[in-house]
């Protein structure tokens, strides 16, 4: 491994703290948390996309304050509606800052309030930088005012608000679970 950017060491420590202190009612989520913690222990570069076997990613389910609508992106590589998010970067002060940066980059909304704890975790295979890899996604809730104006970025084929009772029919089950968890009252 090449020399790791010191900023990723800070992110690594923050992610470990966030995950170690996180709990969830579903046993499967706790198993994933333990897998993520083991992954962090095994890979000092786990927060960087340079970690070839996989890396921890940061995402946000963006919803209006009433949690009646969610903002989804039509992902150009996957061709499906997903939550906002992506790779952590060396300039991110901490894990939640990475989430907020992704929200701003992908939606143009700069006043989102990111939950203190994750909503859920989701581990999935992805082609990343031309190789098979995994994203160990840590999914947060980001609430915005009902009049927030989203602006599509180059990272999306489309960006759209959906009422939670009228979601796209082929929406990924992991995104549906995030929405259900948020609607059930996940706290900021």
pLDDT in tens, 74-96: 988 888 999 999 999 988 999 99
67: left (phi over 0), alpha (psi -120 to 50) or beta: left
CATH class of segment(s) 6-183: alpha beta
Mean pLDDT rounded to a whole number for the chain: 93
Judged against a pLDDT cut of 50, whether residue 1 lies above it is answered with no
Kindly state the average pLDDT of the residues 55-75. Answer: 96
CA-nearest of 73, 71, 80, 100 to 88 is: 100
- Residue 2's φ and ψ, nearest 5 degrees, are -75, 170
Kindly state the average pLDDT of the residues 34-38. Answer: 98
Percent of the chain with pLDDT over 90: 79
Sorted by where each begins, the domain ranges of the chain are: 6-183
Q: Name the residue with tokens 């970690």.
A: 51
Q: Read off the tokens for 82.
A: 């997903």
Kindly state the average pLDDT of the residues 124-147. Answer: 91
Q: What is the pTM of this model?
A: 0.94
Report the pLDDT value the prediction gives residue 3, as an integer from 0 to 100. 65
């Amino acid at each position: 491994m090449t020399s790791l950017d010191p900023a990723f060491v800070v992110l690594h420590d923050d992610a470990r703290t966030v995950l170690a202190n996180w709990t969830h009612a579903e046993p499967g989520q706790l198993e994933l948390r333990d897998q993520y913690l083991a992954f962090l222990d095994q890979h000092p570069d786990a927060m960087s996309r340079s970690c070839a076997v996989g890396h921890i990613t940061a995402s946000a389910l963006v919803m209006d304050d009433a949690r009646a609508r969610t903002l989804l992106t039509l992902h150009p590589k996957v061709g499906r509606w997903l939550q906002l998010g992506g790779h952590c970067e060396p300039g991110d002060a901490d894990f939640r800052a990475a989430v907020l940066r992704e929200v701003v980059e992908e939606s143009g909304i700069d006043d989102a309030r990111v939950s203190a704890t994750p909503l859920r975790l989701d581990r999935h295979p992805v082609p990343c930088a031309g190789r098979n890899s995994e994203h160990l996604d840590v999914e947060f809730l980001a609430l915005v005012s009902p009049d927030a104006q989203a602006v599509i970025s180059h990272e999306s084929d489309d960006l759209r608000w959906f009422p939670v009772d009228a979601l796209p029919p082929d929406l990924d089950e992991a995104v549906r679970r995030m929405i259900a968890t948020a609607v059930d009252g996940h706290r900021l």
